[in-house]
Amino acid sequence: MLPRVVGTVLAIVAMRAAEAGVILLNADGFVSAVDPTAGGQTGQRESLAIPSGYELVAQRGTALARNTANYRVEFGQTVFSHDLYLQRAGYQANFSANAIASLTQFNFMVEADTAYDLSGWLAVNDAGNTTGRSALKASLLNVTTNTHAFYADQTSSSTIDESFVLGQRDGDSFGSLSGALSGALTAGHLYRWEFFAFTTVHGDVDQGATASGNLTLRIGTQTIPEPPPAPENSVPVPGTLPLVASALVALRWNLRRHRRHRRAA
């Protein structure tokens, strides 16, 4: 399991995305923002439906954490997409400063064997030389078999303006990767999708940081609609052009013949 931190909690009741046969059972999530110069930590709580969107925001002083979710069904797939934005202050007087966004215990099942596809990234923008840490962690666990379809943990502690991409080992202090970004889900099995992203500092002076990113889980096989048919008679049917040309030649010949007869008369 990914780390669990007390903060803003998102509670999701059982719901269903019928078009793609996905049953969402429950989920816990949070955003947390800590600025020790402004009274510590703050947060927010919301619920949602599918298809739906929501935004969780935690802000305290100069610290900000935002998790904007868009849950929808498109082209036969159920899409769970999260846009993240993190902003933290620099280190202050022996107190840590951080911004965290997370989704934990996101439990779901599928009614028929189907495909999944994961994608994600997190880009950090440091205000100067950094002594802080940043990380992007994600997991897709088959709870029924207790095996990971996908697991990634990327952490950096010394790279300025770090950039993480899901499916790669980009962390300078730790990188773990197993499973596949795309694969198959088994009907009737319980699955859990989790992610954890943060930027934090403790111990040395730095100038703060921001980070933005996205994590998306797609379930089902994408079906692209066929374009509508062209209007009738808008394009000549292959093979008709020679007939049209012959008819025009015959019409021109008849007109000339008619003119000659009129002159002769």
> pLDDT at position 18, please?
43
Structure tokens at 36: 């020790």
Instruction: Give CA–CA dist 230/212, Å, rounded.
Output: 43
Instruction: Give CA–CA dist 116/104, Å, rounded.
Output: 18
Q: Report the pLDDT averaged over residues 18-24.
A: 66
Instruction: Give CA–CA dist 100/96, Å, rounded.
Output: 13
pLDDT digits (tens, 9 = 90+) for 59-68: 888 888 888 8
Does residue 42 have a pLDDT over 60? Answer: no
Q: pLDDT tier at 74 (50, 70, 90 boundaries)? A: confident
Does residue 137 have a pLDDT over 70? Answer: yes
Does residue 101 have a pLDDT over 60? Answer: yes
Query: 162 CB contacts (<8 Å, ≥6 apart)?
Result: 123, 124, 134, 156, 170, 171, 172
Q: Which of 111, 162, 171, 114 is nearest to 138 (CA)?
A: 171
* Torsion angle of C-alpha atoms 80, 32, 180, 190, degrees rounded to 10: -60
Q: Give the pTM.
A: 0.74
pLDDT digits (tens, 9 = 90+) for 189-221: 999 999 999 888 766 666 788 999 999 999 998
In the chain, what are the domain boundaries?
A: 10-219
* SS3 of the chain: helix, strand, coil, percent, to 5: 10, 55, 35
pLDDT digits (tens, 9 = 90+) for 169-191: 888 888 899 999 999 999 999 99
- Average pLDDT over the chain reads 76
55 vs 202, more confident? 55
